[in-house]
Amino acid sequence: MSVSLLARKKIQALVPYQSARRIGGSGEVWLNANESPEVSDFNYDGDQLNRYPEFQPAALINGYAAYAGVSQSQVLASRGADEAIEVLIRAFCEPNQDSVVICSPTYGMYSVSAETIGVEVKTVELDSDFNPDYSALAAIDSKIIFLCAPNNPTGSMLDHAKLSKVLEAQRDKALVVVDEAYIEFCAEQSVQGLLTDFDNLVITRTLSKAFALAGLRCGFTLANAEVIEVMSKVIAPYPIARPVAEIAAKALTTDGLKIMRERVASLNTIRSQAVDELSRLKIVKQIFPATGNYILIRFDDSARIFKALGEQGIVLRDFANKPRLDNCIRMSIGNQQEVSITLKAIQGLERS
Ligand SMILES: Cc1ncc(COP(=O)(O)O)c(C=O)c1O
């Protein structure tokens, strides 16, 4: 069965909006898109801002496809990975009928996006070691299964053999979306190699983390070309602004990738040192696997730590009120100085 048949019936039949850029054309006089003939006074150094951008800017898509080692037809650029999540649900889940699966505790936007669209959210809890319950996922009846690796906030990774079994069991039934927003921090563990074997595997990525471009709002989906085609029907006609495409394409050049990899190596070193120091403290009860640019820490009394750090102007993310994450705080890996200040402050709270 073609994986595109998993899409909502209406979407399968939908003729995408024929934007001026999609229709295209050739010539010198462009009067087909109700654009301004003049470049705005507030222009930037790049291309003409009075003109709509390409639907999927070629330089950007080529750059990401080359970086990810897939073909251009397997890549969709979006306004952050968050937009990819929303577009997948809108394209594949019939409101009031289909469901998505989340593996809690995990990133919050899968359920928020599903709920705003009227799609039921089923929860399959991570097991006692915070790993996915693969057999439950293989058996579940749903349209999209969301997994996140590194999982935000627990840092859990995926067992590729077990994931393959889920993909096999869900073939022709459900998409399995693996959110790899943080994958550059442990690049060798990407599930991307499974794309060739499973047309129901979808991977979401972003420039917001390792590429240091959260303000740019640029993310990507890697998937079978048919899934990308379905998503292309649903996403906005011009999802990537010209300046965004231009900056993002620079980040994906050989130089840009080198800078990104150096940053990742440096942040990973800072992270390892932080894990070492934290593990020596009596107030620290558990350190979750540190696989992304963050560490989830369980303290003996996180409310006391969170409050004391806040009073010193150190803002971390409190997870204590989330199920199974009592006394947990997530610390992002900032620069050496920020992490040192934070560790010193935490060490100062160690009870004598
Ligand atoms: C797991 C995960 N996925 C996706 C996102 C959102 O990425 P983007 O900034 O590309 O929308 C985040 C942001 O924190 C995240 O933690």
Q: How confident is the model over 127-154, as pLDDT tens digits?
A: 999 999 999 999 999 999 999 999 999 9
Pocket around ligand 1 at a 6 A CB cut-off? 80-82, 107, 148, 152, 179, 181, 206, 208, 214, 219
Whether residues 63 and 178 fall in one domain: yes
Mean pLDDT of 223-241: 97
**Which ligand 1 atom lies nearest to the CA of residue 218?**
10
Whether residues 206 and 262 share a domain: the answer is no
Report the b/e string of 120-131 with b at 16+ CB within 10 A: bbeebebeeebb
Same-domain pairing of 69 and 150? yes
Indicate the top mutation candidate among 206, 244, 296 to test ligand 1's pocket, ranked by most ligand atoms within 8 A of CB.
206
Q: Is residue 223 part of a domain?
A: yes
Count how many residues are written for the chain. 352
Tell which one of 208, 216, 296 to mutate to probe ligand 1, the residue whose CB is within 8 A of the most ligand atoms.
208
pLDDT at 2: 93
Domain of 52? 3-252
Tell me, yes or no, whether 171 and 25 share the same domain: yes
Tell whether 216 and 287 lie within a shared domain: no
Which atom of ligand 1 has the smallest separation from the CA of 214?
9
| CA-based nearest residue to 156, from 85, 86, 103 | 103
Q: Which residues 6+ apart lie within 8 Å of 215 measured at CB?
A: none
- Residue 284 clears pLDDT 80, i.e. is over it: yes
Nearest residue (by CA) to ligand 1, atom 12, is 181
Mean pLDDT in residue range 309-322: 95
Are residues 145 and 127 part of one domain?
yes
Q: How confident is the model at residue 119 (pLDDT cuts 50, 70, 90)?
A: very high
- Ligand 1 nearest-atom number relative to CA 219: 10
Question: Global pTM?
Answer: 0.96
Q: How far is the CA of 184 from the centre of ligand 1 (A)?
A: 13
Residues 202 and 271 in one domain: no
Residue 99 phi, psi (nearest 5): -135, 165
Calculate how far, in angstroms, residue 180's C-alpha sits from the geometric centre of ligand 1: 9
The total of structural domains in the chain comes to 2
Whether 86 and 215 map to the same domain: the answer is: yes
